[in-house]
A = this chain, B = another copy of it.
């Protein structure tokens, strides 16, 4: 497994492999890998001849009051997981390598960031779209794999890839969950044992909504009212948003007639958790 820290070295490696006719897969991450990431690596191995993992905690996608400095890191653990999953190259740049002095170019979307997490994290998706554009140009993959827990991120990357004509296949892998249903997230490491139990309020309210819709409920407001009550029944929780929306445009749905996305962000203590589920009548 190669560990590469510099952009030009990464580009040379990838270009040489492309010239040999190999198909290249790419899994971009912020590290502190868990089984959710592993499922993306497994997907990448299946779909290509060569798999690159990037580990980069991207400063431009963190807001002023967010957890950039405390974001969990464990490079040695990450490299062991990468090795175990057959990763061929790990791209491990530092922030100065990615954002050179004088850097001033950003990729932005006009509409999709104005929903869900974008509302409470202004600038977040500009940072995401920009760093993914850069990583696509550095890693030059044929296929890139993203998790579905960050549903809005996935929607934005799909749209951006199409709009900017990247010749790259985007694969959305299903959210990987703990046995009790909690969506895997590096930020789960912030939770105390008690908060870890409280965090189940997200999946419980999603499952409840899915049941309601299966039983004929078509009113998004009813789903949101029930979810709000479930979350409030757990201690130390605060809803950031609960939204029933179109899975592609992310526009709010007023009446459920087909598949909808139920997406939420909930604070458990000071830790902001997100989850979502596509629900069908």
Contacts and interface: CB of A to CB of B under 8 A. Distances in A.
Interface of A: 7, 11, 15, 18-19, 21, 100, 102-112, 129-130, 133-134, 137-138, 140, 159-160, 162-167
B109 A7 contact: no
A194 to B, nearest CB: 42
Nearest to A126: B108
Given A134-B165, A165-B134, A105 B109 contact: yes
B108 A164 contact: no
Contacts of A19: 18-19, 21
Of residues A106, A133, A164, A165, which shows the largest number of chain B Cβ atoms within 10 Å of its Cβ?
A165
Given A7-B165, A133-B164, A164-B137, A104 B109 contact: yes
B108 A11 contact: no
Contacts of A104: 109-112, 159, 163
B105 A163 contact: yes
Given A100-B162, A103-B162, A106-B108, 6 more contacts: A18-B19, A104-B112, A104-B159, A104-B163, A105-B160, A106-B109
B105 A106 contact: no
20 contacts: A11-B167, A15-B167, A18-B18, A18-B19, A19-B21, A103-B163, A104-B159, A104-B163, A105-B107, A105-B159, A105-B160, A105-B163, A106-B107, A106-B108, A130-B164, A133-B133, A134-B165, A137-B166, A137-B167, A138-B165
Of residues A107, A111, A112, A134, which shows the largest number of chain B Cβ atoms within 10 Å of its Cβ?
A107
Contacts of A133: 133, 164
A134 B163 CA distance: 8
A275 B249 CA distance: 44
Nearest to A14: B167
A166 B111 CA distance: 25
A52 B1 CA distance: 38
Contacts of A18: 18-19
Nearest to A7: B165
Nearest to A156: B105
The 5 closest A-B pairs by CB, nearest first: A105-B163, A104-B110, A137-B165, A134-B165, A105-B160
Of residues A19, A102, A105, which shows the largest number of chain B Cβ atoms within 10 Å of its Cβ?
A105
Given A137-B166, A138-B165, A107 B107 contact: yes
Contacts of A110: 104-106
Nearest to A105: B163
Contacts of A160: 105
A6 to B, nearest CB: 11
